[in-house]
Amino acid sequence: MINRRLLIKNLLANHDESSFYDKKRQLNLHTKEGKAKFLKHICALSNSNLFNNSYIVVGVEDQDNELIGDDFFDDSRIQNLVNAYLENPPEIQYENVPFPNLPKDKVIGLVTIKKKKKPLPSYFKKNIYTIVAHTKYIRIGSNSIPLEGPINQSKLNKETVVGIENISRNNIAYTLDGVLDFINVRHKDIWSKHKVFKELFVICWAGIQKKVGDTTYLSRVDIELINEQIKLFYSALDVVTIAYDAHTFTITEFVPLEVNKTTNYFPFEQQTLHFFDNGFYKIERKMLFEPPVFDKKTLHHIYNTNQALLKKLTNQITLTPSEIKDLENMPATFMICYFNGFDEAKQKLIDAKQLLKPFPAIYLSFKESLRILRKMKYDLG
């Protein structure tokens, strides 16, 4: 098994950005421009590496390779974005990799663009932002550039990339160190647990326990597959339940939504890891969320209140204590409005980003609400 932390270190230590590797400070998939840039690099890296994997490392400063980190990004549906715009799309995987010196809510993102089963070049099948349909991209050094004509079916990078992957494979020391660090260092002040599956895979999880009836819920949850240094789940707000047997480990996520001072928890998504005797595992995800329906008159009042608050923040007018409370609920209530037919509410929330940044707790709620909206459906239009 490849240790993702070692892989990132080896990419950063031995290579500048190249035809098989790119690095980014962060990804922005909330705008068409951000989506277009991401898809361009996916297209170029895939076309330049038809016979081997290629990578994008997210959360790294460009000049000195300093690990800055980025937010936990758990959108398994990122593949849908690639499939929607690229013909002959590559299979891609986004993984969250923790590093010891980063804050606990920050990770390094690793995008793996997998080698093609059939060496067919990728190209855009429809327009997005300034990229027109039928455009192909390829990597020349650290640049992704348009290409006219056929693509050279080169195996130039194969030996180099396979070599990097081979020296990044796991061993017992990394696994033991990972378990001890998770339990004794990073989560020494809260409940934590680990379990071994198939005598090979080790999952650690931690959180604050709360028992309701026969069900134990966890908040402030952190879950890692230690063998591969992959963070499976992280949230400072959401609530989850954990279930497991000899072959599977299941995370069920719940979303708290508050309207009229009443908070309800709604099942959101279920993620199940299946472990096999042959040393492989797979992850299955099932969306459980059914958007709650609320009284339209109440939501109109909330929507107008949110817009008035944003106007006050824009004009730097001091908010009253009751308005501060409404502001705390703004990300979730804008999201509820969007689910109930207020089509502009999502964009209103996105546009409020800079206004909410000075309020750390509210900004955290803002990021959680966008994460939920992103997972529900990409705006592919």
pLDDT value of residue 248:
97
Q: Where does residue 261 fall: left (phi above 0), alpha (psi -120 to 50 degrees), or beta otherwise?
A: left
Per-block average pLDDT, block size 10, for the chain (381 residues)? 90 77 88 93 94 94 86 82 94 92 89 91 94 93 85 84 90 89 93 93 94 85 92 85 95 81 82 89 90 88 94 93 91 91 93 92 89 68 42
pLDDT score for 16: 66
**Length, in residues, of the chain:** 381
Q: What is the DSSP letter of 115?
A: P
How does DSSP assign 126-190, residue by residue? S-BTTBPTT-EEEEETTEEEEE-SPPP---TTHHHHHHHHHTTB--HHHHHHHHHHIIIIITTTS
Give the pLDDT confidence score for residue 243 in this predicted structure.
95
Nearest to 58 by CA among 70, 66, 45, 46: 70
Confidence at residue 28, expressed as pLDDT on a 0 to 100 scale: 85
Angle of helix 360-376 relative to helix 321-339, nearest 10 degrees, comes to: 0
Q: Produce one character per residue of 35-65: b if its CB has 16 or more CB atoms within 10 Å, e if not.
A: bbbbbbbbbbbbbbbbebbbbbbbbbeeeee
CB 53 within 8 A of CB 105: no
Distance from C-alpha of 178 to C-alpha of 174, rounded to nearest angstrom: 6
Q: What is the pTM of this model?
A: 0.80
Q: How many H-runs (helices) and E-runs (strands) does the chain carry?
A: 10, 16
- Strand ranges (E), the chain: 21-24, 54-58, 70-71, 86-87, 92-97, 106-113, 123-124, 136-140, 143-147, 191-197, 201-212, 215-225, 230-244, 248-259, 262-275, 281-287
In the prediction, which pLDDT does 381 show?
42
The two three-digit tokens of residue 44, written as one number: 């170029």
* pLDDT, position 14: 65
Q: Are 1 and 227 in contact (CB under 8 A)?
A: yes
Residue 150: its pLDDT value, please?
Answer: 81
User: In sequence order, which residues have a C-beta less than 8 Å from that of residue 33 and are 6 or more positions away?
Assistant: 129
- Please tell me the predicted confidence (pLDDT) of residue 375: 78
